[in-house]
Amino acid sequence: RERAMHDISVVATDLKTLHQTRVDWLGKKGPLTEVLRGMKDLTPEERPAIGALANEVRDALTQAITDRQSALEAEALTKQLAQETIDVTLPGKPVHQGQPHVLQQIIESLEDQFMGMGYQIVEGPEVEQDQYNFEMMNLPKDHPARDMQDTFYITPDILMRTQTSPVQARTLETHDFNAGPLKMISPGRVYRRDTDDATHSHQFHQVEGLVIDKHITMGDLKGTLLAVAHQLFGADHEIRLRPSYFPFTEPSVEVDVSWGAVTADTKPEDIEWIEVLGAGMVHPNVLRMAGVDPDVYGGFAFGLGPDRFAMLKYGVEDIRNFYLNDVRFLTQFDQKG
């Protein structure tokens, strides 16, 4: 009995050894079983005493093993808990959250600004009819200015839109001028058969703008575009309007934004200008073809390139970076920082 107790409390230092101890002492081949089996050879007088003793020893050993088992289990648990302690002061693994694409950020900031100025946002189809993309924009089939926008044709009458200007015609057709003036912008993708290079992509973005009312002037156009440049590039940037040509506007301008800040001391010859958009006063033919009377209504339109805006704002030298989907490039524009 003493040896058994010694095995239980001293030798069995883990659960596996304790299990072996139980088998050794209480198992079928153990000494206790042997004693009980030998009972039949005893005299009837001896039996009760030996039987009682054997039972007592068995109960004591069983109890001791159970106690020892609980103790060992508790010990193992404590050890495991100690090993698995979490050091809450260690830095965590950052979970990366997605973000809008940098071009989407530029477009959304323009949308916010124009909505604040009372414009509605209109969308048009990317697969467009020749009629809206060109003819209603005062570009008949044989017009030489069609060469300015090399086109992906799907059929002779259906194409991938080369500009967001067709949304002008679509909106003019449906707008109810009795309900008030028309002020809209239309952001979206456009497609041209351009050869890709650092500043040209065969698929890029435009944001079209159109304002039609009874007394809109070129001063309104310039003020609006200046507000856009200030919002996007900073209040210390200037804009410049240069005469240009578009079939759907007359007069037409191309608009440049100053590359750096312009102060009262900056000499005009020191300013570097970057072209960002085309604009002008809507051509009477465009209004007439959409069923709007050009003797009563008139206004301005513009088409700006968010890709070019983004290049300018962030100093991105190659437009193709916007379309490669390299997350190392894209996460630089994480607004959340």
Binding residues, as ranges, are 250
Instruction: Give the shortest CB-330-to-ligand FA5 separation in angstroms.
Output: 18
Residues in the site for ligand FA5, rule: CB under 6 A? 163, 165, 192, 194, 200-201, 204, 206, 246, 248-249, 275-280, 301-303, 305, 307-308, 319
User: Which lies closer to ligand FA5 via its Cβ, residue 68 or residue 237?
Assistant: 237
Check if the beta carbon of residue 128 is closer than 8 Å to that of residue 161: yes
Find the shortest distance in angstroms from Cβ 200 to ligand FA5: 4
Residue among 313, 317, 315, 302 nearest 234 (CA) = 313
**Tokens 């139980």, residue located:** 22
Torsion angle (degrees, nearest 10) of CA 11, 13, 15, 19? 0
Q: Which is nearer to ligand FA5, 21 or 249 (CB)?
A: 249
CA 146, 151, 156, 159 torsion-angle sign: negative
228 and 327 Cβ atoms separated by less than 8 Å: no
Question: Closest approach of Cβ 294 to ligand FA5, in Å?
Answer: 16
Binding site feature residues for Mg(2+)? 250
Beta carbon of residue 273, minimum distance to ligand FA5 (angstroms, whole number) = 13
Nearer to ligand FA5, 111 or 275 (CB): 275
The token pair that represents 312 in the structure block: 């300018």
Shortest spacing between CB 288 and ligand FA5, in angstroms: 17
What residue number has its CB nearest to ligand FA5? 305
Three-state DSSP string of 135-175: HHHCCCCCCHHHHHCCCCEEECCEEECCCCCHHHHHHHHHC
Q: Is 79 helix (H, G, I), strand (E, B) or coil?
A: helix
Based on CB atoms, which residue is closest to ligand FA5, 135 or 194?
194
Tokens of 132: 């809206």
- Give the Å distances, CA to CA, from 12 to 15, 23, 68, 156: 7, 12, 9, 91
Beta-strand pair 153-155/158-160: antiparallel
Nearer to ligand FA5, 25 or 132 (CB): 132
Shortest Cβ 309–ligand FA5 spacing (Å) = 8
Please say which residue, 57 or 279, places its beta carbon nearer to ligand FA5: 279
